[in-house]
Amino acid sequence: MEEMHQPVMLDEVLLYLKPQKGWVIVDATVGGGGHAEAIAQRIGPSGRIIAIDRDPKAIQVAKERLSKVPVEISFHRENYRGLCAVLDMEGVKQVNGVLFDLGVSSLQLEDASRGFSFRHDGPLDMRMDPSIKITAADILNSYSENEIERIIRVYGEERWSRRIARFVVSARRRKRIYTTSDLVKIIEDAIPVGARRGRKHPARKTFQALRIAVNNELESLRTALLEAAKSLDRAGRIVVLSYQSLEDRIVKRTLLSLAKGIPAPPGSTSLSLPLLKVLTEKPVTPSEEEREINPRSRSAKLRAAVRLEDH
């Protein structure tokens, strides 16, 4: 069960989010509810949590875990890029904090039927929201070799992307690629044995790339960060946990751009006044102790910013 897993960098999240009594906090990726549970203890009983997740199974788990928290809490099965629309539905104009815990959760990785993990055999799905039409199998079996190569190279930062794409297309001519184990075998055949020495699992980057492509994660993240910044009250805070370089790069650049000033009006080359102050010059990483105890935290990077009071 997801509730048995520890939320990543919990102490650091609380340090930078600084939740206080009566605050309204958006957990934009509630997952198993671990961060939200700790936040609730600090903002209750007059505080409020607005929990968002695109995964219906995550919402179900979070509802069970948070059923007795001492605050008002509402759940929304939505993509976090629609954060402002969720707040409109709730009748909330501004919030005191927004938390993003990005990437794939333990709940998703450990469910073989979801197809997120190269360590478990299951269907090549990878949809965080089951209403999405395109699965990882659809991409592998119908996209052109050039497009598959581009996805693996850009979203996975995989140096062997061209060979993997070529092997994928060759394999699908013989039979449809259905399962995670099918794909792992193709990747292992594509990457030369000598190139695997000292590497993490050879399928890791390709699985990451397909997941990002299926769920349109990077474009959604850019939009969500802008939505979060607009929704903050004065001195409100954004805290973001990312787990791979593409996400972290987007978070870093977006927060910095909002600290320098945003285009006004949209499309203009002029800048408005700065909206945020970045609190983390460099990303905060987990302690050695946490990395040993909680494997999911090993690649985590935390960045945070605060809404300027005079904006």
Q: Is 131 exposed, middle or buried (0-12, 13-18, 19+ CB in 10 A)?
A: exposed
- Domain with 296, as residue range(s), is 2-106+217-307
The answer on 229 and 97 residing in a single domain is yes
- Last residue of a domain, which of 215, 237, 269? 215
- Percent of the chain topping pLDDT 70: 93
Domain boundary among 191, 215, 239: 215
CA dihedral for 188, 117, 52, 79, sign (positive or negative):
positive
Residue 145 shares a structural domain with residue 97: no
Residues 53 and 119 in one domain: no
Tens-place pLDDT, residues 31-70: 999 999 999 999 989 999 999 999 999 999 999 999 999 8
Number of domains in the chain: 2
* Tens digits of residue pLDDT in 170-211: 999 999 999 999 999 999 999 988 777 766 789 999 999 999
Tell me the backbone φ, ψ of residue 227, rounded to 5 degrees.
-60, -40
Residues 91 and 125 reside in one and the same domain: no
> Residue 206 in contact with residue 164, Cβ under 8 Å?
yes
Same domain, 151 and 206: yes
Among 215, 248, 279, the domain-final residue is 215
Round to whole Å and give the CA distance between 113 and 76: 23
Which residue type does 234 have? R
Contact 107, 254 (CB under 8 A): no
Domain CATH code at residue 196: 1.10.150.170
Per-residue model confidence (pLDDT) at position 184: 96
User: Is the distance from CB of 111 to CB of 100 less than 8 angstroms?
Assistant: no
**3-state DSSP assignment of residue 45:** coil
Vertex 3: Cα angle to 24 and 49 (nearest 5)? 10
pLDDT at 1: 40
Domain containing residue 9: CATH number: 3.40.50.150
- Same structural domain, 132 and 89: no
Helices (DSSP H) in 1-103: which residue ranges? 10-17, 34-43, 56-65, 83-90
pLDDT tens digits, one per residue of 231-252:
999 999 999 999 999 999 999 9
Query: Which H/E stretch holds residue 163?
Result: helix 161-174
Backbone phi, psi, residue 116, to 5°? -85, -25
- Tell me, what's the pLDDT at 177? 97
Which candidate, 227, 247, 229, 238, places its Cα nearest to that of 13?
Answer: 238
The CA distance from 270 to 230, in Å, is 18
Residues 92 and 228 in one domain: yes
Q: 131 and 49 in one domain?
A: no
pLDDT surpassing 90 at residue 4: no
Beta bridge partners of 147: none
- 168 and 122 assigned to the same domain: yes
Partners of residue 270 on adjacent β-strands: none
Q: Are residues 93 and 224 in the same domain?
A: yes
Enter the pTM of the model: 0.90
- Which pLDDT does position 242 carry in this prediction? 96
pLDDT score of 161 more than 50: yes
Q: Residues 224, 303: one domain?
A: yes
Asked if the bond preceding 265 is cis, omega within 30° of 0, the reply is: yes
Shared domain check, 211 and 112 = yes
